[in-house]
């Protein structure tokens, strides 16, 4: 197969930006296999990730070239022909669009339009492809990476859908034959339900160069005291970028205050307070502080009364939730679509302790 465009080294390059748990690493490996085994190209794929835990940043790199050229480098992809963004919460927190040029096709998992996304990404130029991968994955009972794979095939303009489907069927089918149908549906829907728009580099936003070294801290540029100010740390107090699109919703009327959620939650999200239950003094579950929630949904699994249910974060992202004001929280306690009344409490005991000068 002939590649439609290549860089000065003869490579067609793809970069995937994601967080651990969304399957970008596997998606990268599958694209590597697609190039080498199915498209007759020389192909390389590798990923870069830290502690291999859910929610931590992951990058996957794929290089393709004609079989007459050797792939002699294994450095990160700086100016990708295709950039896949698995999670829109990363926008503004990491320079995920660094190195994008007018020739880049940017695929993003979002329910928003390409115009909205250009503004949010402050994208210099290029073609934006939007696909609601989370919704499709939930409906098709597949994973986000399969939907993004289909969207990449569509955006490329040269990767045949049937070849992509064959590769998925053969790869997944070896180990999990029962998952083939749903995964293929995810790939096909990603291909067919992606919407796109091209934006010229009109000077509205600046080009951002890819400079890995800028993101590193050393003795001369680390914050005072060596604190970690990035999202997810105790300083920024925001785990939203670690979530995969799901949040637990709390239906207080069903809660029996058993405390199983609190015992299970690894991040102290539940706020129990002295109160009254069935006419007796008790510690009462008064809600969740989403600042600390990483969306693992373990609490949903253990709740014996279904007082906790899984929700699509996008459908419950009223910014007023995140205002630390009791009156506003009271206004937003009713959510008719699920019957859940989850909110961000203004009085997280972790915060109180911080304000009081730390845990004593």
Please give the residue ranges that form the binding site for ligand SF4 (CB under 6 A).
248, 255-261, 264-265, 267, 269, 285, 288, 293-299, 302-303, 305, 307-308
Kindly tell me the sign of the dihedral angle through the C-alpha atoms of 318, 321, 322, 327.
Answer: positive
Give the residue with the Cβ less far from ligand SF4, 121 or 297: 297
Question: In the bound complex, what is the minimum distance in angstroms from residue 143's beta carbon to ligand SF4?
Answer: 18
Among residues 189 and 294, whose Cβ is nearest to ligand SF4? 294
Which is nearer to ligand SF4, 14 or 261 (by Cβ)?
Answer: 261
CB of 249 to ligand SF4, least distance (A): 10
Closer to ligand SF4 by CB, 156 or 345: give it. Answer: 345
Question: Which alpha helices (DSSP H) does the chain contain, by range?
Answer: 24-33, 114-121, 133-140, 144-156, 161-175, 180-192, 260-264, 298-302, 326-331, 349-355
For ligand SF4, give the closer residue by CB, 259 or 275: 259
Minimum distance of ligand SF4 from residue 341's CB (angstroms): 12
Specify burial of residue 198 (Cβ count, 10 A radius: 0-12, 13-18, 19+). Answer: exposed
For residue 136, the minimal CB distance to ligand SF4 (Å) is 22
Q: What is the β-pairing status of strands 57-65 and 12-19?
A: antiparallel
CB nearer to ligand SF4: pick between 55 and 150: 55
Which residues face 266 on adjacent strands?
none
Strands, E, within 207-346: which ranges? Answer: 246-250, 270-277, 280-288, 308-312
C-beta neighbour count of 136 within 10 angstroms:
25
CA distance linking residue 84 with residue 133, whole number of Å: 12
Cβ–Cβ < 8 Å for 6, 82: no
Query: DSSP secondary-structure letter at 91?
Result: B
Minimum distance between the CB of residue 340 and ligand SF4, rounded to whole angstroms? 11
DSSP-derived 3-state class of residue 112: coil
Minimum Å distance from CB 199 to ligand SF4? Answer: 36
């Amino acid at each position: 197969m002939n590649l439609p465009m290549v860089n000065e080294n003869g490579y067609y390059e793809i970069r995937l930006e994601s967080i651990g748990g969304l399957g970008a690493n596997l998606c990268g490996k599958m694209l590597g296999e697609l190039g080498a085994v199915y498209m007759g190209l020389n192909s390389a794929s590798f990923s870069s990730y830290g502690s291999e835990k859910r929610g931590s940043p992951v990058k996957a790199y794929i290089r393709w070239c004609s079989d007459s050229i050797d792939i002699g480098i294994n450095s990160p992809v700086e100016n990708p022909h295709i950039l896949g963004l698995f999670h829109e919460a990363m926008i503004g927190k990491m320079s995920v669009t660094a190195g994008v040029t007018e020739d880049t096709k940017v695929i993003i998992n979002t329910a928003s339009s390409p115009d909205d996304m250009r503004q949010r990404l402050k994208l210099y130029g290029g073609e934006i492809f939007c696909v609601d991968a989370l919704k499709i994955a939930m409906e098709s009972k597949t994973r986000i990476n399969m939907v993004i794979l289909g969207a990449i095939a569509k955006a490329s303009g040269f990767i045949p859908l049937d070849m992509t489907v064959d590769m998925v069927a053969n790869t997944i089918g070896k180990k999990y034959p029962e998952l083939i149908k749903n995964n293929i549906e995810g790939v096909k829907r990603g291909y067919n339900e992606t919407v796109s728009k091209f934006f010229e580099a009109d000077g509205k936003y600046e080009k951002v160069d890819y400079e890995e070294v800028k993101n590193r801290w050393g003795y001369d540029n680390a914050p005072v005291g060596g604190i970690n100010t990035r999202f997810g740390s105790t300083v920024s107090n925001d785990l939203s970028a670690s979530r995969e699109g799901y949040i637990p919703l709390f239906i207080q009327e069903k809660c029996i205050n058993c405390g199983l959620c609190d015992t299970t939650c690894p991040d102290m999200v539940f706020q129990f307070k002295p109160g009254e239950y069935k006419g007796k003094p008790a510690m009462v579950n008064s809600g969740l502080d989403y600042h600390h929630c990483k969306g693992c949904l373990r609490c949903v699994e253990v709740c014996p009364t279904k007082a906790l249910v899984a929700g699509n974060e996008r459908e419950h992202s009223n910014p007023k939730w995140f205002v630390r004001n009791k009156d506003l929280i009271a206004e937003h306690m009713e959510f008719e679509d699920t019957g859940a009344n989850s909110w961000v409490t203004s009085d997280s005991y972790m915060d109180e302790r911080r304000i009081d000068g730390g845990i004593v």
